[in-house]
Amino acid sequence: MNAAKALATERADVLARLDRLGATFDDIVEVARDSNLDDEHDTEGITIAADRQQVAALIAAARRQLSAVDAAEQRVRDGSYGICVSCGARIANGRLSIRPATPWCVDCAREQR
């Protein structure tokens, strides 16, 4: 699979995930709105608040992934795709097949953690 196709697939996957998460978030907000639960004093309210926070975090992560795909597509256009943005080494094809939007080789990715 070439880079552009792999990134297009990843983009579609992330957008679908964002759609699902957005619908889930909307459902949680609707449940909270329709209930008389008090987030601070009712255990179910606390659960709803925690669910809302968890889904919001997943949405934020998906948006970051979408930004990573955008950046990778720019690297494809400028000819730097597959080159580590930190050290300039070639990113292994196996890594790119698993993480097509990655900007780092394995060694630099470890350092990012």
How does DSSP assign 41-98, residue by residue?
T-HHHHHHHHHHHHHHHHHHHHHHHHHHHHHHHHHHHHT-TTB-TTT-PBPPHHHHHH
- pLDDT on residue 1: 61
**What range does the domain containing 56 cover?**
3-80
Q: Is residue 87 part of a domain?
A: no
Q: Is residue 76 part of a domain?
A: yes
Q: Is residue 101 part of a domain?
A: no
Q: Is residue 91 part of a domain?
A: no
Q: Is residue 97 part of a domain?
A: no
Phi–psi pair at 111, nearest 5 degrees: -70, -25
Burial environment of residue 100 by CB neighbours within 10 A (0 to 12, 13 to 18, 19 or more): buried
Q: Is residue 66 part of a domain?
A: yes
In tens digits, the chain (113 residues) has pLDDT values of 699 999 999 999 999 999 999 999 999 988 887 776 555 555 666 788 889 999 999 999 999 999 999 999 999 999 999 999 999 999 999 999 999 999 999 999 999 88
Q: Is residue 88 part of a domain?
A: no
Provide the number of structural domains found in the chain: 1
- pLDDT on residue 10: 98
The rounded distance, in Å, linking the Cα atoms of 33 and 26 is 10
Give SS3 for 24: helix
Q: Which two tokens stand for residue 18?
A: 């964002």
Q: Is residue 12 part of a domain?
A: yes
